[in-house]
Amino acid sequence: MKILSLDLSYAKTGWSVLSIKKDNITIIACGLITSNKELEPNKRIYETVEKINKIYSLYNPDFVLKEGAIMGRSSTGLNVIKTHGAYEYSLTINDRDFNDVHNATIKSWCRNYLIDYHNFDKDDIKNMNKKLMVATAIEKYFNKTINEIWTPKGKLIDDIADSIAMVLTAYYRGLL
């Protein structure tokens, strides 16, 4: 089974394509889509959806996962919701299977994975930056550094890390 996973947002969308074969999960490709700030909102959303659709066409996944839309009361929240809606519409009209995975579910799986399989204690996790916790969990899972989630200067690209962790979470939580 091939999964396209999206940490979908208005400004930056982390994406990954992973393969699952008999409990063996591998990363095929991943990256970051950054929308053009010079464009008006609807055009930015359109271009993001078009780029995601090109990735979909290139890898032809069996299923799409996307992080559930999280929105507070910020002024930019409406554009995030519009981006999610536009892509969900694209999935629906093209008869593509998809599911949402909530951010808290991803963080929970990562926390439990580190505690249960890598001898982290609850205090270690409690004191760890949540974005770094996700990166640590996926690198521990694959038993290697995932270069694609780090900039050349060593800064975490958490949107890509979240998209990879989303597939692991969905698989081990039985959401696929």
Of 84, 22, 93, 94, which is closest to residue 57 (Cα–Cα)?
A: 94
pTM above 0.85, yes or no: yes
Give domain 2-172's CATH number out of 1.10.357.10, 3.30.420.10, 3.40.190.10, 3.40.91.10: 3.30.420.10
SS3 category, 129: coil
Q: What is the pLDDT along the chain (176 residues), one digit of tens a residue?
A: 999 999 999 999 999 999 999 989 999 999 999 999 999 999 999 999 999 999 999 999 999 999 986 655 555 677 888 898 999 999 999 999 999 999 999 999 999 999 999 999 999 999 999 999 999 999 999 999 999 999 999 999 999 999 999 999 999 999 99
Amino acid at 73: R
163 close to 16: Cβ distance less than 8 angstroms: yes
98 close to 88: Cβ distance less than 8 angstroms: yes
Amino acid at 21: K
**Domain ranges (residues) in the chain:** 2-172
Long-range contacts of 38-46 (CB under 8 A, 24+ apart): 41/10, 41/79, 41/82, 42/82, 44/10, 44/79, 45/10, 45/79, 45/82, 45/83, 45/86, 46/86
